[in-house]
Amino acid sequence: SPSPSPPPLLRDSMAMRCVVYFPARLLHAVAVCTKGAFARLEAFSLRLLAYGLNRNRLAWFEGMDQRLTSENTNTEDQRSETWSGPTVYTAPAEATLPYPPIRDSTEGIAGFAALVELGILKPGQVVLNLGGGAFDGPSQWLESKCTGTRVLTADPFRRSKEHNLSVQEQVQKVGGADVVTSISV
């Protein structure tokens, strides 16, 4: 004889538990698989941006048309051997509120020094310095402070087209930069 069926209330709650449990497990499995797929898609997209489908594609700055430029920034070369720290701005004497001194670590050597202090820039890295201006003082400072670090600077307004293409080729040859900076641009 067939086994007796559970009372209707119990039967409904068992079915409900099964219905809720199954989709939750399924959704979890889908989420885990999707996360991996999105990570692979993101990595692929980043490689496409860096290299494109064709290695003979345009230069990074080819066809660039913008009105705001770095032409008027980085007009003073900072020498790594004479740099003593970031610029500190103090409140004017006539200020009504007691503003504390402001340490500007957003430009040149000070920008690199802040990134070293934060542990972002480390020895042995390839650093792509985009919009790094016409001078090499900050790059030389970083290379002297972080052993084995190589700083490659590209700037569409302050460096020649040949220089920028050379930097692009060097970065692509090593498989990309470890860190990309754009300080005070």
Secondary structure (DSSP) of 111-136: HHHHHHHTTSS-TT-EEEEET--S--
> Quick check: pTM over 0.75?
no
SS3 7: coil
The sign of the dihedral angle between the CA atoms of 103, 106, 108, 110 is: positive
**Average pLDDT of the residues in 15-44:** 60
**Average pLDDT of the residues in 60-89:** 67
- CA 149 to CA 56: how far, in whole Å? 28
| Lowest-confidence pick of 80-84, 120-124, 162-166, 172-176 | 80-84
Residue 65: what pLDDT?
A: 57
Does the pLDDT at position 86 exceed 90?
no
Closest to 153 measured CA to CA, from 136, 173, 174: 136
Residue 162 CB contacts under 8 Å (≥ 6 apart), including other chains: none
**Secondary structure of 36-101 in the HEC alphabet?**
HHHHHHHHHHHHHHHHCCCCCCCCCCCCCCCCCCCCCCCCCCCCCCCCCCCEEECCCCCCCCCCCC
- CA 134 to CA 49: how far, in whole Å? 26
Share of the chain above pLDDT 70, in %: 61
**Average pLDDT of the residues in 4-23:** 50
Closest to 168 measured CA to CA, from 83, 24, 49: 49
Does the pLDDT at position 18 exceed 50?
no
